[in-house]
């Protein structure tokens, strides 16, 4: 039987590993720091995270060494911002630390005001920002109505994998759903290879495995890094859309990316303009 002390020790080590994994995946340039010539550490150094979080280097080092120290919610908030954690990662950080988030729903630092403005300027082209876990971090009005009504969903459900295997509206909008979902699962498996021990990924996989369809597809162990670019979408409001799917990476290839769906013919462009008008009328 696991005692309370053992459980706390496990969580401290999980927290330490999680912090190290996130630190090593952020480049100095992403947080406005110079790279320098003698950098050997992948990602950020501990002292750089401490500097960005306004905490002591020794204290932060102890945190990554899983020492038994007290961590306030305010310090966790600062660390989450310094490490550019998205909402799912932030929630896991506080859960592992056994603390209550003082600012739940905090916008992801990766999605800057300029990126949000870019999403708006792309209208009527549907566009969103996703991370490698397929969480939808931000989106414009046309994307909000492209496959389902995203605004009606809680933030924790705004994940393309979850929606593709569980949301009836999303599934009805995707032409050739079976092939599309097999491709998504294969890309998800390829992305997950570098994140097998991370809590947010494990939690998402556990949730997906409640779907019999996902379990059947996942058991095939298919892997692919990129899928087809042409998409046929049966939008519930304006009809069939013939679109080209594009990725624009916003940082390291395992990081967030801007997704856009560009119309491939005049009729699809006109229908996207109609969809944008409908979305704006609902505001």
Positive or negative torsion for Cα 192, 193, 197, 202: positive
Residue 210 is predicted with a pLDDT of 94
Q: Which two tokens stand for residue 245?
A: 């799917």
Positive or negative torsion for Cα 200, 206, 212, 216: positive
Asked if the model's pLDDT at residue 2 lies above 70, the reply is no
Closest CA to 255 of 91, 31, 52, 37: 31
Residue of 241 and 155 predicted with greater confidence:
241
CB 272 within 8 A of CB 235: no
Whole-number Å distance between alpha carbons of 50 and 79? 8
pLDDT in tens, 148-185: 999 999 888 999 999 999 999 999 999 989 999 999 99
pLDDT in tens, 57-113: 999 999 999 888 888 899 999 999 999 888 778 888 888 888 888 877 777 777 888
DSSP state of 155: G
The mean pLDDT of the chain is 88
CB 130 within 8 A of CB 143: no
pTM, full prediction? 0.75
């Amino acid at each position: 039987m696991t005692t309370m002390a053992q459980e706390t020790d496990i969580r401290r080590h999980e927290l330490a590993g999680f912090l190290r994994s996130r630190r090593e995946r952020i480049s100095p340039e992403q947080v406005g720091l110079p790279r320098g010539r003698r950098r050997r550490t992948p990602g950020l150094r501990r002292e750089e995270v401490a500097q960005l979080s306004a905490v002591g280097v020794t204290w932060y080092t102890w945190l990554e060494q899983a020492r038994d120290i007290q961590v306030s919610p305010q310090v966790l908030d600062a660390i989450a911002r310094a490490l550019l954690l998205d909402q799912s990662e932030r929630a896991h950080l506080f859960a592992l630390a056994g603390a209550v988030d003082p600012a739940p729903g905090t916008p992801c630092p990766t999605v800057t005001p300029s990126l949000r403005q870019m999403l708006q300027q792309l209208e009527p082209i549907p566009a969103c920002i996703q991370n490698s876990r397929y969480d939808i971090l931000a989106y414009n009005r046309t994307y909000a109505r492209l496959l389902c009504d995203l605004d009606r969903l809680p933030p924790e459900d705004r994940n393309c994998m979850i929606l593709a295997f569980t949301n009836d509206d999303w599934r009805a909008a995707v032409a050739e759903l079976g092939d599309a979902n097999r491709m998504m699962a294969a890309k998800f498996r390829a992305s997950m290879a570098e994140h097998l021990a991370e809590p947010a990924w494990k939690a998402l996989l556990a949730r997906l495995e409640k779907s019999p369809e996902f379990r059947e597809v996942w058991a095939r162990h298919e892997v692919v890094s990129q899928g087809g670019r042409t998409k046929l979408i049966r939008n519930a409001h304006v009809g069939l859309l013939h679109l080209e799917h594009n990725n624009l990476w916003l940082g390291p290839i395992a990081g967030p990316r801007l997704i856009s769906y560009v119309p491939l013919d005049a009729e699809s462009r006109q229908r996207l303009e109609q969809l944008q008008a409908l979305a704006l009328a609902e505001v």
